[in-house]
Structure 1
Amino acid sequence: MADSTLVFLVLGATLAAFVWGRFRYDLVALAALLGSVMLGLVPGDEAFRGFGHPAVITVAAVLVLSRGFEYSGVVDLISRQVLKVGERLFLQLLVLVGTVVVLSGVMNNVGALALLLPVAMRMARTHDVSPSLLLMPLAFGSLLGGLTTLIGTPPNIIIASYRGSVTGESFAMFSFSPVGVAVALAGLVFIVLLGWRLVPQRAGKASTEAMFDTANYLVELRVGEDSEARGLTLRELQQKLKEAVPVLAVVRDDRRRAGHAFFGVLREGDILLMEAGPEEMKLLEDKAGLHLGKEAEDDSEENDEERGDNRDGQPQGGRTSEHEPREARTASTVADNQQEQESGRKANGKSGREKKGVDTEGLQLVEAVVRNDSKMINRTVAQLRLQNQYSLHLVAVARDGGRLKQRLHEIRFRPGDVLLLQGDESELADSLSTLGCLPLASRNLTLGQPRMLLVSIAIFAVAILAMLLDLLPAAVALSAAALVSLLVGVLPLREGYQAIDGPVIVLLGAMIPVGEALETSGGATLIAEAMLAWGSDWPVVVTLAVLFLLAMVLSNIVNNAAAALLMAPIAASLASGFEASVDPFLMVVAVSASCAFLTPIGHQSNTLVMGPGGYRFSDYWRLGLPLSLLTLSVSVPLILLVWPLSG
Structure 2
Amino acid sequence: MTTPQILSFSLIGLTVATFAWGRFRYDLVSLVALLGAVAIGIVPVKRAFTGFTSDVVVIIACALVISAGIARSGVVEATLAPGLRKLKTLQTQVPAMTAATALLSIVTKNVGALTILMPTAIKVGRQEGSSVSALLMPMSFISLIAGLSTLVGTSTNIIVSQVREEAIGRPFRMFDFAPVGLSLTVIGLIFLSFAWRILPRDRQGSQDLGDATAEAFFSTEATVPDDLPDTLNTIADLELGKDGVLIGGIVGADGRRRDAMPDSELVPGEVLVLQGEDAALAKMFDRLPLGKVRADKDVEKGQANEEVRSIEAVVQPDSQLIGNSARRARLQDEYGVKLLAVSRSSERITQRLREITIRAGDVLLVQAGENSLPDFLKSLSLLPLADRTVSLGNPRKRFGPIAIVIAAIALIAAGVVPVAAGFFGAAVLIIVIGALPIREAYGALEPEVLILIGALTPISEAVHQTGGTALIASGLAHLLMGISPILVLGTLLVVAMAAAPFLHNAPTVLILGPIAVLVAQRLHLNPDPFLMAVATGAGCDFLTPVGHQCNTLVMGPGGYRFGDYAKLGAPLSLMVIIVGVPLIAWFWPLTG
The TM-score with structure 1 as length reference comes to 0.65
Judge conservation of contact 2:203–2:559 (CA < 8 Å) in 1. no
What is the alpha-carbon distance in structure 2 between the residues aligned to residue 95 and residue 170 of structure 1? 34
Q: Which amino acid aligns with 1:123?
A: V
Deviation of 1:58 after TM superposition, in Å, equals: 1.1
Task: Note the 1:379-398 alignment, pairs <5 A.
Answer: none
Whole-Å separation in 1 of the counterparts to 2:50 and 2:459: 11
- Within 5 Å, give how 1:177-326 maps onto structure 2: 177-193=178-194, 195-203=195-203, 260-264=314-318
| 1:447 Cα offset (Å) | 8.9
1:466 aligned onto 2:411: yes
Find the counterpart in structure 2 of residue 544 from structure 1: 489
Distance 2:395 2:474 in 1: 55
**Is 2:543 the counterpart of 1:605?**
no
Contact kept, 8 Å, 1:71 with 1:447, in 2: the verdict is: no
**Quick one: distance in 1 between partners of 2:190 and 2:456?**
36
**Are the structure 2 counterparts of residues 205 and 467 from structure 1 closer, same or farther at C-alpha, using a change threshold of 3 Å?**
closer
Structure 2 CA distance for partners of 1:448 and 1:109, relative to 1, 3 Å? farther
The alpha-carbon distance between structure 1 residues 82 and 28, as it changes in their structure 2 partners (threshold 3 A), is: farther
Q: Does 1:154 align with 2:159?
A: no
1:291 matched residue in structure 2: none
Per-residue CA distance 1:288-328 (angstroms, 9 max, x = gap): xxxxxxxxxxxxxxxxxxxxxxxxxxxxxxxxxxxxxxxxx
* Counterpart-to-counterpart distance in 2, 1:126 and 1:491: 31
1:626 aligns with 2:571: yes
Contact (CA 8 Å) 2:317, 2:361: kept in 1 or not? no
- SS for the counterpart of 2:314 is helix
Contact 1:85–1:95 (8 Å) recurs in 2? no
Q: 1:558 & 1:197 partners in 2: Cα distance?
A: 30
Q: Which amino acid in 2 is paired with 1:615?
A: Y
Residue aligned with 2:585, SS: helix
The answer for unaligned runs of 5 or more in structure 1 is: 213-257, 267-343, 351-359, 366-387, 392-422, 434-443
Letter matched to residue 162 of structure 1: V
Q: CA deviation at 1:265?
A: 8.4
Deviations 1:254-292 (A, max 9, x none): xxxx993214189xxxxxxxxxxxxxxxxxxxxxxxxxx
Deviation at 1:76, TM superposition (A): 3.1
Against the structure 1 CA distance between its residues 364 and 117, is the aligned structure 2 distance closer, same or farther, given a 3 Å change threshold?
farther
For residues 52 and 571 of structure 1, the distance between their equivalents in structure 2, rounded to whole angstroms, comes to 25
The residue correspondences of 1:112-127 to structure 2 (distance < 5 A) are: 112-127=113-128
Q: Which residue in 2 is equivalent to 1:534?
A: 479
CA distance in 1, matches of 2:126, 2:206: 5
Q: Who is 1:53 aligned against?
A: 54
Instruction: Tell whether 2:433 aligns with 1:432.
Output: no
Q: Could you say which residue in structure 1 is the equivalent of 2:144?
A: 143
Equivalent position SS for 1:260: strand
The amino acid across from 2:580 in the alignment is S
Check the 8 A contact 1:58/1:474 in 2, yes or no. Answer: yes
CA distance in 2, matches of 1:264, 1:3: 66
Query: Aligned letter for 1:620?
Result: Y
**1:42-99 Cα deviation digits (max 9, x unpaired):** 1221111111111111111111111111121235314513522422212101110000
Cα 1:94/1:164, change in 2 over 3 Å:
same
Alignment of 1:569-588 (within 5 A): 569-588=514-533
RMSD: 3.1
Tell me if structure 2 keeps the 8 A contact 1:463–1:478.
yes
Structure 1 range deviating more: 86-95 or 68-77: 68-77
CA shift at 1:500, angstroms?
2.0
Verify: 1:495 aligned to 2:440, yes or no.
Answer: yes
Letter paired with 2:508: A
Quote the offset at 1:128 in angstroms: 3.8
Question: 5+ unaligned residues in a row in structure 2: which ranges?
Answer: 213-311, 321-343, 351-359, 366-373
The structural deviation recorded for 1:205 is: 5.5
TM-score under structure 2 normalisation? 0.70
Residues 549-560 of structure 1: matches in 2 within 5 Å? 549-560=494-505
Q: How does 1:77-88 map to 2 (within 5 A)?
A: 77-88=78-89
> How many angstroms does 1:527 deviate by?
2.2
* Contact 1:71-1:449 at 8 Å conserved across structures: no
- Give CA deviations for 1:429-477 in whole Å, capped at 9, x if unaligned: 7x135xxxxxxxxxx9459644x23221221122112211211111111
What is the aligned residue count?
A: 449
Q: Is the 8 A contact 2:150 2:175 kept in 1?
A: yes
Q: Report what 1:456 is aligned to.
A: 401
Distance 2:92 2:385 in 1: 33
User: SS in structure 2 opposite 1:197?
Assistant: helix
Partner of 1:169: 170
- Give the direction of change, closer, same or farther, for the CA distance of 1:135–1:390 in structure 2 (3 Å limit): farther
One-letter amino acid matched to 1:189: I
The percent identity for this pair of structures is: 39
Q: Distance in 1 between matches of 2:76 and 2:346?
A: 28
Change (3 A) 1:448 1:13: farther
Q: Is the 8 A contact 1:93 1:192 kept in 2?
A: yes
1:617–1:204 CA distance, 2 compared to 1 (3 A):
closer
Q: Does the C-alpha gap of structure 1 residues 508 and 643 become closer, same or farther in structure 2, counting only changes over 3 Å?
A: same
Structure 1 residues 640 and 2: alpha-carbon distance in aligned structure 2, compared to 1, 3 A threshold: same
- Preserved CA contact (<8 Å) 1:147 1:591: yes
Q: 1:175 to 1:492 in 2, by over 3 A?
A: same
In 2, the alpha carbon distance for the partners of 1:575 and 1:74 equals 45
Equivalent-residue separation in structure 2 for 1:13 and 1:207 (angstroms): 36
8 Å contact 2:8–2:462 — kept in the other structure?
Answer: yes
Query: Which SS does the other structure have where 2:149 is aligned?
Result: coil
Q: Does the 8 Å contact 1:130/1:206 carry over to 2?
A: no
Does the CA contact (< 8 Å) of 1:72 and 1:449 recur in 2? Answer: no
C-alpha change, 1:67 and 1:132, in structure 2 (3 Å) is: same
In structure 2, distance between residues paired with 1:116 and 1:44:
42
Distance 1:156 1:449, change over 3 A: farther
Partner Cα separation in structure 1 for residue 134 and residue 555 of structure 2: 12
Aligned 1:398-437 pairs, distance under 5 A: 431-432=387-388
Q: State the Cα deviation string for residues 109-139 of structure 1 (Å, max 9, x = none).
A: 1111111111111111123422111111111
Match of 2:434, SS state, is: coil
